């Protein structure tokens, strides 16, 4: 992977690119400590999207959608290998694309882009990050996660190779 992140025309295009590298560093949905009782802010690449939408998955199964301070309630449940979100009379199944302490990317089950839905992914980030950064900046941070994890793995691998060489030389 190059050191510089390419430019993307859309958030979906950037996520598609990054997931080839980042998916192995993702946490799983059963690890609820990564997303429960946190304030997640919705991120879109639409310049006309100016609302502040927060999403909160409470430990008791309540789902809060907060639009510019107005609270709407629903329910959520980890089941069927994904999150079922019940909101405004609908039940929707979302599958994890990526999850860590700062980013939560979901995809609604099925192919919705071919059915006219504009966004492929439901991208939310911690409120502290998302309120002060554009989607392109958030993708750069995600790319940096890959680079730092890859560098760490190279250091660990180098350490094990060094130990193996020392052990081999001590045997000879």
Tell me the C-alpha distance between 66 and 18, whole Å: 28
Residue 1 confidence (pLDDT): 46
Backbone angles phi, psi at 71, to 5 degrees: -100, 130
- CA geometry: angle at 68 spanning 64 and 71, to 5°? 30
Topology (CATH level 3) of domain 11-171: Lipocalin (2.40.128)
pLDDT tens-place values along the chain, 172 residues long: 446 788 999 999 999 999 988 888 899 999 999 999 999 999 999 888 888 999 999 999 999 999 999 999 999 999 989 999 999 999 999 999 999 999 999 999 987 665 556 679 999 999 999 998 999 999 999 988 777 765 555 665 666 666 667 777 778 7
Task: Confirm whether pTM is higher than 0.85.
Answer: no
Handedness of CA 127, 103, 51, 108 (dihedral sign): negative
Backbone angles phi, psi at 110, to 5 degrees: 100, 180
What secondary structure letter does DSSP report for 91? Answer: E
Backbone angles phi, psi at 160, to 5 degrees: -65, -35
Count the residues in the chain.
172
Instruction: State how beta strands 62-67 and 53-57 pair.
Output: antiparallel
Tell me the C-alpha distance between 23 and 166, whole Å: 34
Tell me the C-alpha distance between 42 and 122, whole Å: 8
């Amino acid at each position: 992977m190059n050191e510089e992140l390419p430019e993307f025309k859309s958030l979906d295009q950037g996520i598609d690119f990054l997931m080839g590298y980042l998916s192995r560093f993702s946490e799983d949905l059963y690890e609820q400590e990564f997303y429960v009782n946190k304030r997640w802010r919705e991120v879109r690449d639409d310049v006309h999207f100016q609302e502040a939408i927060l999403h909160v998955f409470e430990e008791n199964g309540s789902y809060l959608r907060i639009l510019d301070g107005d609270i709407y309630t629903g329910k959520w449940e980890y089941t069927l290998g994904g999150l079922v979100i019940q909101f405004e009379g609908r039940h929707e199944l979302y599958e994890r694309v990526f999850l860590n302490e700062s980013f939560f990317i979901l995809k609604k089950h099925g192919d919705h882009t071919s059915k006219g839905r504009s966004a492929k992914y439901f991208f939310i980030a911690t409120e502290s990050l998302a309120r002060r950064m554009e989607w392109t900046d958030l993708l750069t941070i995600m790319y940096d996660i890959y680079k730092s994890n890859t560098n760490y793995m190279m250091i660990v691998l180098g350490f094990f190779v060094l130990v193996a060489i020392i052990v081999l030389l001590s045997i000879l």
